[in-house]
Structure 1
Amino acid sequence: IMAGVWFLARSVRKTADTRLKKSMDDPLLAGFLANLLRLFILITGLLLALRILGFGGITTSILAGAGISAFVIGFALRDIGENFLAGILMAFKRPFRVGDFIETGNPPNTVKGRVVSLNIRVTQLKTPDGKDVYIPNANIIKTPLFNYTVDGFLRLDFTVSLPAGQDYSSIIAEMQGAVKMVDGVLTTNRIPGVRISGIASGRPEARVSFWIDTSTTTRKEESIKSDVILAVQRIVENYTIKQ
């Protein structure tokens, strides 16, 4: 009986997931509701199976003692229940969507990645190095969360050491021009910036920052950043040779 209920729940979940994703603008919410429906079918099927097998008294006792058992089970499985409730909250009101690049956790123990799915207990992220990370929903609710693509725009930056004794205004201008030439870097509303950020070992350091539009570009941010770093490094090397 339970095998049949399990297959039924699985089939209903797949059908509901497909239809909800077609009719809704939010695939995360659609997937979460489909999983919730599957869980409801499994619990209902278990209670019906107990009644059919002649354990109706057990079913009645389960329902009658739901208040006490809820307290006991809730205390024993409070982490699971906490993640479940957090999942419900995030399904209907959350600060990210599928594909958003987010960072969550308490520094320095944070996790960065793109949102893949929201399940009953966990949220799945794909990190820049290809790892699949499953974060308990309660952790996301209780810790700081940074969404780098809530409006589609993502800023990236890095620091580079400059050769000593050079015309830094010229170096900065050349760097800014080189960054603008990289495919995927925004050059209109959000222009690249290069500025002196400090001094290390007697040499000035420049911070290079630029923006990309994650909703339109087909390139990964890591690939764009790599090209920008190479373009900037070539300029640094040219001025180093001139010394």
Structure 2
Amino acid sequence: MLFNDLRDVLNTYWAHFLFLLPKLGVALVLLFIAIFISNRVSRLLGGRLQARSHDPLLAVFLTRFSKWALLLLGLLLVMQVLGMTGVVSGVLAGAGLTAFVVGFALKDIAENFLAGVVLAFNRPFRIHDTVQIKDKDLMGRVEALNLRTTLIKTFDGKDIYLPNAMVLREPLINFTRDGHIRQDFQVGIDIGEERDLTRVQQLILDFVRSFRDVETEEPHTAYLVVEKTDGSTATLHVYFWTFSEDYRRRTQELKSELMQGIRKLLLDQGYSKPATLS
């Protein structure tokens, strides 16, 4: 009796399988066609966008979006052929807790995806821009904008994948967007009783303005402010502009080289124990 029941069940499953076999064949063919078309169209679209667009960030994002959109359409078509649309809807509608968990997870994915769309079209940064997410104290170069995350490489070599929603929501500082950035540091010096403070200022300014990678054209010219004087000592505040495309080289390293150069210059001019402060 048990054997007969088992045989009847297996025969029923086999009959259903034979009934679905043509649909499975059509579905597999449609799936392969969808994958081929999505790869082909995204490749052609990406090539045209890269050739005509001046914004590689937007071009890459639209290429990836088109690929996944076509794959999704193909998958929906396959499910329709297999008759699974109603089954999936019934499962999601009938499973309350499961539907809530799935909906919550999809909400996060949808939020980051929509944030990525806004970032791609609004363009608060470009590829290789140096940015800082202010409240998170994360700083580095933008390497990629994906459908869900933004890839930032820090100066110490770490790859940080930030959710697009967080990048869009948090205050973002772009150090390289305009191509110029101002840096500053202080110089403490013992000018002595008979030293001319104006001469020291001009000496430092001439050195800064003649230094490589320091901008000299208006309005991006170096200048100097006397912070305080105390008898024979003075604290000078030096401001200078530089190009910011390579933020690490032309800001951080350049600032260090300037501070060391000014210290050596003042020592050579006979000023005792000059101190440069960041």
Q: Could you say which TM-score interval applies, normalised by the shorter chain?
A: 0.7 to 0.9
Q: Which residue of 2 aligns with 1:152?
A: 179
Picking from 201, 206, 216, the partner of 2:236 is 206
Q: Secondary structure at 1:162's aligned position in 2? A: strand
Q: Secondary structure at 2:272's aligned position in 1? A: helix
- Between Structure 1 and Structure 2, which shows a larger proportion of helix residues? 2
Query: Are the aligned partners of 1:125 and 1:132 in contact in 2 as well (CA < 8 Å)?
Result: yes
**Residue 83 (1) aligns with residue 115 (2):** no
Q: Secondary structure at 2:123's aligned position in 1? A: coil
Pair 195,97 (structure 1): closer, same or farther in 2 beyond 3 Å = same
Bigger drift between 224-233 and 69-78 goes to 69-78
**Residue 126 (1) aligns with residue 126 (2):** no
Shift of 1:186: 0.4
Shift of 1:215: 6.1
Shift of 1:52: 4.2
Q: Which residue of 1 aligns with 2:17?
A: none
Query: Are the aligned partners of 2:180 and 2:244 in contact in 1 as well (CA < 8 Å)?
Result: yes
Pair 236,4 (structure 1): closer, same or farther in 2 beyond 3 Å = farther
The number of aligned residues is: 235
Bigger drift between 165-174 and 88-97 goes to 165-174
Shift of 1:188: 1.7
Picking from 129, 132, 141, the partner of 1:114 is 141
Give the aligned residue type for 2:139: K
TM-score by length of 2: 0.68
Shift of 1:42: 2.4
> Which entry has the higher C-alpha Rg, 1 or 2?
2
Shift of 1:198: 6.0
Give unmatched runs, 5+ long, in structure 2: 1-27
Instruction: Spell out, residue by residue over 1:150-202, the C-alpha distance to the aligned partner (whole angstroms, 9 max, x if none).
Output: 32212222334434746544333222211112211101211112324469xx9
CA distance in 1, matches of 2:61, 2:103: 21
Give the aligned residue type for 1:81: A
Query: Are the aligned partners of 1:96 and 1:150 in contact in 2 as well (CA < 8 Å)?
Result: yes
**1:160-175 counterparts in 2 under 5 A?**
160-163=187-190, 165=192, 167-175=196-204
Query: Are the aligned partners of 2:189 and 2:273 in contact in 1 as well (CA < 8 Å)?
Result: no
RMSD across aligned positions (CA): 3.7
Give the aligned residue type for 2:272: T
